[in-house]
Structure 1
Amino acid sequence: MAGAASQAKGGGGERADMTAWLAVAAGTLGALMATLDISIVNSSLPTIQGEIGASGTEGTWISTGYLVAEIIMIPLSGWLERVFGLRTFLLAVAALFTAFSVLCGLSTTLAIMIVGRLGQGITGGALIPTAQTIIATRLPRSQQPIGTAMFGATAILGPVIGPLIGGWLTEHLSWHYAFFINVPICAGLITLILIGLKHEESHIDQLAEADWFGIVGLAAFLGGLTVVLEEGQRDQWFASPMITTLSVVSLIGFFLMMTGQLTAKRPVIRLRLLIDRQFGSVVVMGMVVGMVIYGTSYTIPQYLVAIDDYNALQSGIIVSLSGIPALMIMALVPILIRVVDIRLAVGFGLAMLAVSAWMESSMSSQSSGGDFVVSQLMRGVGTVFAMIFLNQAAIQSVGPDHASDAAGLFNAARNLGGSLALAAISVVQDQRLWFHSRRLEETLHANSEGVQAYLGGQAQALGGMAQALRALSGTLQKEALTMTYNDLFWLLAVSIGCALPLVLFLRPLDTNTKPAAGG
């Protein structure tokens, strides 16, 4: 995996051949496709929800389901690579990803869509860390910084440009093509895998030695926890038998996972690494960055569609603006890692993310996409500095023997942050929308002269009192929704600010070591 850079072949003067670069291209393409599909539905989500008969809160599962499945799969990928061999494993997940993408594109109900998205998440979660494995094992150390920059671009740009591509396809073709587009991409990916990677012998016998307590526990814990967070508010929390049952399932999963930590020779996810002060801080900050990346790529399109009547393409363009600084800076990443102190870089990145979210917490119902331009550009700069440097810190925080476990934990934490952000958005949005609606209604008194005059004017303009009352209700709802989104951005800014002091626990990177192949 990513941290296996210390085992990469070759020294500083060795050069990778064309086959090795084709393998790296395969890994990068697979990772791009996996990260792209996290957010490709965000800008077209209202359209999809309408066609498959899902409510706004139910629609979050189209995004959350993918993330949950991906989180579960990422820590398992290293073990599955060893069991089946890298080439066989990648071919299988690429083919299955294609099949699940087609299923999503053909969906006519929410249930079918969620099954397809879960399948996409499981197979897509395998494509991300395997890309890091290829960079670490196929490139000599002198060329690994190039691979790092390539993979870093996919990890950051995928979720950012997803809404733009999905929006364009929705407006010019149909939302179905946001999933069908994966078919030709997967065909190219499979071709690159066949050319760039050699067949490796499988080790099926390792299935008997697997940390099954950890595997089952991880799935039950993360899956149950996310469902509880997502559905708890709507189902009145523990008044619901389903929420109570899933809470128990999540708790049992946690204890099973802990049992695996104590009994397995090689736990599926090595949680002991979190005890290290630096690595634990890196994981927490990585989770916060994941909240920013995935939370904003979901929230901003929803805001623009609901408040400003933007279509899927227009909202996707606004979200993709944060990718511009990433493209400009990414080529300098190998140099920046060597010359910039990690504490300054990560602190600067997190500060930029906090300020960008704070700027978006004072929107009005008259705000438009143009009001997001500066904050989105700032967010792009902050994401590059925070994410790339945190990845290098994650790898260097542990010894070479545990570097692959560190990479898996860091990537899982980043996606877990995104999953928690989407679940929290659903809960906060329901509560704060109700709160602001009631408060606004309380300011309007039926006998107020101002209210009567306003309704009289509206009734005359719209052709009746019923129409005037509907218009007033719509205005109140729009104002309440705007204040709700402001609350979401404010909470995001505060969360980033709370994580900012953790940069003090970071140690300077070893400038004599080539950057690990991570992202």
Structure 2
Amino acid sequence: MSTPTVRASPAETPEKADAAAWLAVAAGIIGAFMAALDISITNSALPQIQGEIGASGTEGTWIATSYLVAEIIMIPLSGWFTNMLGLRKFLLIMTTLFVSFSMLCGFSTSLGMMVFARVGQGFTGGAMIPTAMTIVSTRLPPSQQPIGMAFFGLTAVMGPVAGPLVGGWLTENASWHYAFFLNLPVGLGLLTLLALGLPAAKMRKELLFEADWIGIAGLSIFLGCLTVVLEDGQSQEWLESRFIVILMAFTLIGLVMLVLGQIYSKHPVIRLSILFQRSFGSVFVTALVTGAALYGVAYLIPQFLSSITGYNALQSGTVVLLSGVPMLLVMPFIPLLVRILDLRIAIVFGLLCYAASCYIDTSLTGGADGGDFYVSQVLRGFGQAFSLIFLNQAATRSVPRHLVQDAAGLYSAGRNLGGSIGLAIIASLQERQVSLHTQRLFETVTANSVVMQDRIREAGTDPAGAQQVIGSLFQTITRQATVMAFNDMFYFYFISLLVVIPMVLILKPIPKGSSVAMH
């Protein structure tokens, strides 16, 4: 993946892209959106899917986890495949396979069949995320690249938040199968755009024999096992589970193999050394945190609205999707903002908006509904727009040009890995916080407390009535403890986003008026 990509000199680059170039950009954006959408499109339909394929609640989580694991593995490998096969051939193959695996998901009748298809879907879909940025940089002139960058940023925000809404609507109005069948017409259109918009390139077979196979295997084992550990560690009780311990061991083995590839291979699969460069290292850490917030908050809000307010999947998805509206409003101004704003100021502004939106959600009550999230969701949308779009820019500006493919792969993988870390933290802390708040609330309501005595007095002398009062009080305390735990999670993200802001000051500024450089 470290092989330099041949780029046209400024004199050879046209000032305006032709129709074929814009077709290629459209293909890249649609592909990236499909891949991001399918991460969460099954969340709303999981109960129905589990019922039809005979999977338990615990087994059903693999329907989502298997996709994410495979996608994270593929993202940093996509640069190497692009160099070997050529961008056009690589994406045509990946899109065809993505559609095929999507159809297999829709026809699945067992858990094994579904997980196999989701792994294939995630692996092929993961190729579409970093390559979308490659298309923007190679097919658009510098003056028009901010437009492509804005559309790519839209996929990063809208994909995860639109997934539950699209999946919920299709499940309620048709069937969960159509959440996968939807990719067939979109994929056929995507294949047409790729064929028309991307030029053919000669396959470089020699890269197959010069490949860093130890590093490729190590990267796959490391990222795959680490993601599963993060996703399932809490449910398996971490070190109490032999399965998790074995996966941790393989994670370490994969990391060692990846490092050996860095040392001994002439062409490492990906240059990990750029993580230790001050500027890109700060980008990567910021990407981890913003990824955790992006996926974590997109998970928390539907969970709150479902468990506390009683919203269905479609209603919850509508509230989550609201954060995408500011992105649509900001997009027309992105080319201007890139030219006049210091990217550090833009990212700090985005992170502050993001943090403020999380702080607003730390005061939720048991009577909260979707309307209580409107202000925070709009503010969150502006935060996502500025932080993610300008972080894309910072990732490619923080390394030399011949390392931008490595930087793009690590950045995209870091953002998705951050999502896994964020969800793992939620799974671990939420259960603990609910238990903690429940215990503290019960300590204030003893048998001799005024509240308890008043409730029992209202029930009279009927034992059944007294039992009913106690049961009602227990439900009220549990509900309130759950709300308090949600508030704690939003507060956690508020602090995390504030803490990472100093990392932004390390980034290299882009001179005002300069053209946008992307990989």
TM-score for the superposition, normalised by structure 2:
0.92
Deviation at 1:433, TM superposition (A): 2.6
Which residue does 1:356 correspond to in 2?
357
2:104 alignment partner, SS class: helix
Deviation at 1:67, TM superposition (A): 2.4
User: Residues 329-340 of structure 1: matches in 2 within 5 Å?
Assistant: 329-340=330-341
Indicate conservation of the 8 Å contact 1:353/1:382, yes or no: yes
Distance 1:222 1:36, change over 3 A: same
Which residue does 1:226 correspond to in 2?
227
Which residue does 1:24 correspond to in 2?
25
Name the CA distance, whole Å, in 2 between partners of 1:213 and 1:274: 20
1:322 alignment partner, SS class: helix
Distance 1:13 1:268, change over 3 A: closer
Unaligned runs of 5+ in 2: none
User: Residues 232-271 of structure 1: matches in 2 within 5 Å?
Assistant: 232-271=233-272
Distance 1:303 1:52, change over 3 A: farther
Over residues 474-518 of structure 1, what are the superposed CA-to-partner deviations in whole Å (9 max), with x where a residue is unaligned?
333322221221121111111111101112212211335421346
Name the CA distance, whole Å, in 2 between partners of 1:441 and 1:51: 41
Name the CA distance, whole Å, in 2 between partners of 1:482 and 1:250: 35
Distance 1:275 1:74, change over 3 A: same
Over residues 90-114 of structure 1, what are the superposed CA-to-partner deviations in whole Å (9 max), with x where a residue is unaligned?
1221122122222333445554443
Deviation at 1:47, TM superposition (A): 5.2
Indicate conservation of the 8 Å contact 2:223/2:251, yes or no: yes
Which residue does 2:191 correspond to in 1?
190
TM-score for the superposition, normalised by structure 1:
0.92
Which residue does 2:381 correspond to in 1?
380
Distance 1:24 1:231, change over 3 A: closer
- Which stretch shows the higher mean deviation, 93-102 or 313-322? 93-102
Indicate conservation of the 8 Å contact 2:41/2:179, yes or no: yes
Which residue does 1:477 correspond to in 2?
478
Name the CA distance, whole Å, in 2 between partners of 1:49 and 1:477: 28
User: Residues 160-179 of structure 1: matches in 2 within 5 Å?
Assistant: 160-179=161-180
Name the CA distance, whole Å, in 1 between partners of 2:166 and 2:298: 13
Name the CA distance, whole Å, in 1 between partners of 2:136 and 2:461: 69
Could you tell me which amino acid in structure 1 is paired with residue 346 of structure 2?
A
Could you tell me which amino acid in structure 2 is paired with residue 279 of structure 1?
F
Name the CA distance, whole Å, in 1 between partners of 2:461 and 2:321: 43
Name the CA distance, whole Å, in 1 between partners of 2:499 and 2:289: 10
Name the CA distance, whole Å, in 2 between partners of 1:10 and 1:171: 54
Instruction: Tell whether 2:491 aligns with 1:490.
Output: yes
Indicate conservation of the 8 Å contact 2:339/2:512, yes or no: yes
Indicate conservation of the 8 Å contact 1:326/1:381, yes or no: yes
Which residue does 1:302 correspond to in 2?
303
Name the CA distance, whole Å, in 2 between partners of 1:266 and 1:348: 39
Distance 1:452 1:242, change over 3 A: same
Which residue does 1:212 correspond to in 2?
213
Deviation at 1:386, TM superposition (A): 0.9
Indicate conservation of the 8 Å contact 1:11/1:141, yes or no: no
Distance 1:292 1:47, change over 3 A: farther
Name the CA distance, whole Å, in 1 between partners of 2:438 and 2:328: 41
Unaligned runs of 5+ in 1: none
RMSD: 2.8
- Which stretch shows the higher mean deviation, 109-118 or 154-163? 109-118
Over residues 13-35 of structure 1, what are the superposed CA-to-partner deviations in whole Å (9 max), with x where a residue is unaligned?
54322222212211111111111
Which residue does 1:406 correspond to in 2?
407
Indicate conservation of the 8 Å contact 2:231/2:420, yes or no: no
Distance 1:182 1:488, change over 3 A: same
Which residue does 1:126 correspond to in 2?
127
Indicate conservation of the 8 Å contact 1:67/1:418, yes or no: no
Indicate conservation of the 8 Å contact 1:352/1:381, yes or no: yes
Deviation at 1:335, TM superposition (A): 1.1
Over residues 195-244 of structure 1, what are the superposed CA-to-partner deviations in whole Å (9 max), with x where a residue is unaligned?
22343332233222111121111122122222223333333332322122
Deviation at 1:402, TM superposition (A): 0.9
Indicate conservation of the 8 Å contact 2:234/2:424, yes or no: no
Deviation at 1:452, TM superposition (A): 5.3
Over residues 289-329 of structure 1, what are the superposed CA-to-partner deviations in whole Å (9 max), with x where a residue is unaligned?
11121111122111111111101111011101110100010
Which residue does 1:15 correspond to in 2?
16
2:127 alignment partner, SS class: helix
Indicate conservation of the 8 Å contact 1:5/1:141, yes or no: no
Indicate conservation of the 8 Å contact 1:11/1:140, yes or no: no
Name the CA distance, whole Å, in 1 between partners of 2:133 and 2:332: 18
Name the CA distance, whole Å, in 2 between partners of 1:58 and 1:459: 47
Name the CA distance, whole Å, in 1 between partners of 2:314 and 2:463: 32
Which residue does 2:369 correspond to in 1?
368
Could you tell me which amino acid in structure 1 is paired with residue 275 of structure 2?
L
Could you tell me which amino acid in structure 2 is paired with residue 395 of structure 1?
T
Name the CA distance, whole Å, in 1 between partners of 2:414 and 2:111: 27
Instruction: Tell whether 2:188 aligns with 1:201.
Output: no
Name the CA distance, whole Å, in 1 between partners of 2:268 and 2:112: 33
Could you tell me which amino acid in structure 2 is paired with residue 225 of structure 1?
L
2:175 alignment partner, SS class: coil
Deviation at 1:250, TM superposition (A): 0.7
Distance 1:282 1:449, change over 3 A: closer
Deviation at 1:472, TM superposition (A): 3.9
Distance 1:114 1:91, change over 3 A: same
Name the CA distance, whole Å, in 2 between partners of 1:448 and 1:204: 78
Total equivalences in the alignment: 518
Which residue does 1:101 correspond to in 2?
102
Which residue does 1:154 correspond to in 2?
155
Could you tell me which amino acid in structure 1 is paired with residue 394 of structure 2?
A
